[in-house]
Amino acid sequence: MQAKMTVNKAFTISETDPRIYGSFLEHMGRAVYSGIYEPDHKTSDSKGFREDVKALVRELKTPLIRYPGGNFLSGYNWEDGIGSVEDRPKRLDLAWKTVETNEVGLHEFIGWAKEVGAEVNMAVNLGTRGIDAARNLVEYCNHPGGTYWSDLRRQHGAESPFKIKTWCLGNEMDGSWQIGSKTADEYGRLAAETAKVMKWVDPGIELVVCGSSGSGMPTFATWEATVLEHTYDYVDYLSLHSYYGNKKNDLQNYLAMSVGMDRFIKSVTAICDYIKAKKRSDKILNLSFDEWNIWYHSNEKDSKNEPWQQSPPILEDIYNFEDALLLGCLLITLLKNSDRVKIACLAQLVNVIAPIMTEKNGVAWRQTTFYPFMQAANYGHGTVLRHNLDVPTYDCADFKTVPFVESVSIYNPDKDEIIIFAVNRSANEGVDFTAELQGFTLSNVLEFTEISGHDVKQVNTKDTYPVVPKETDAVKVGKNQLTASLKPLSWNMIRVGLN
């Protein structure tokens, strides 16, 4: 099979925002407790956080982490997580029917995030709470001092403000499962008034308003338009959430699901621009895809959990090779929409539908999905190039004319290189891939790695890592053209130096 990508240096999509490689940690399951935090673990630091997990998070170079939820957020009192740990209350978490000890709270998490090199994307509770709690939290976190809440932060050991930049106005507020769920008008009014006072406390913050909980919701599109009617002038991003799974065990349909992600992004972008036109505004509203991932392996097991445990295993999907391929396609789709998607959060980071898994009192390891995400987050920076891709297509159950190759190219002027990410969706045919890179003079191949040749159900475990990138030399460069062989069912990263 032949595939030809044509790009020109003059035709670009956007600069990448590093936050497109963000992640998410919610107080649910073992994400926090026995995930990032396990005081009795042999690698734990003086504050109880696992050093082995920190090392893996640093490998991902995660720039932004959304916290503390998620569904958990809509019943959370942020004041429960400050002050002396011994005095913090244990609470019933109704979102996941567990017991929250509040051992890890605001100061602990912000300190941990700083150690792994990430900013915090803080979320405020608009389920059981609202304007007052939100403005107090901004004052506690970001005001220098001389007021009740800022001085309380200083008493708790943080003399300098946390300077949290990005804030989410609630979570999935149209969902019937959400504590304090609301109609679009109810939420839109509350979000608008909350946004106004949060920015009065700190004009430098950026705010994410909730879109509907997914494109399959009956509220979808109408919800977005109504909420933006109320909030457009006060917020900076609209959120999207979407999860994917191969429940029907249909590989070709599964690997095409990134086409659905692309349609979702373009639909929400169109709604934002409709409200922009309706309001006769000059402001462009960007998107925060702050929950996206693969989630389906653990559903049956989770349905059998007993309620009111402390940090029980929840949503612990064990990912396989086909999941890594789809995750690669989803990453490429986010990059191709980088002109509007400025923030994206892989949900989640550790144990809960996560690239990193831990064993309590044991080891931490990288799932199959760790590697495409790690390579994109490490190397996928610069200017995303607009391209034409000439490649055969296929039809499947849910999508038509799906290209056998999903790909994107990025020009990084700081490193004088072009990075190409590509997934071959074909189970049977390799691809002779050509990239014509107009306006560039190629020098040498810096790296070509592939993940290929595995059974689609192959997984990584704490003891064995079969699904990992491997170097290959099946690539050649000329003056402004590159040719490479993409194996059947493969994730590929090619880095080429420039003269």
In this structure, the number of other CB atoms found within 10 A of the CB of residue 186 comes to 14
Q: What are the φ/ψ torsions at residue 368 (nearest 5 degrees)? A: -60, -35
Q: Is 51 a catalytic residue?
A: no
Q: Which of 38, 119, 224, 291 is catalytic?
A: 291
Q: Is 172 a catalytic residue?
A: yes
Location of structure tokens 């989630």: 295
Tokens coding 94: 């109704």
pLDDT given for residue 87 in this prediction: 96
pLDDT given for residue 299 in this prediction: 87
* pTM recorded for the entire structure: 0.96
Stretches where the chain sits below pLDDT 70 are none
pLDDT given for residue 155 in this prediction: 97
Helix boundaries (H) for 165-207: 184-201
Q: Which of 38, 59, 119, 172 is catalytic?
A: 172
Q: How far is CA 248 from CA 173, 243, 257, 296, in A?
A: 29, 15, 13, 11
b/e map 359-378, b = 16+ CB within 10 Å: eeeeebbbbbbbbbbbbbbe
CA distance 165 to 110: 13
CB 236 within 8 A of CB 206: yes
pLDDT given for residue 191 in this prediction: 98
CB 420 within 8 A of CB 494: yes
CB 169 within 8 A of CB 235: yes
Q: Are strands 341-347 and 286-294 parallel, antiparallel or unpaired?
A: parallel
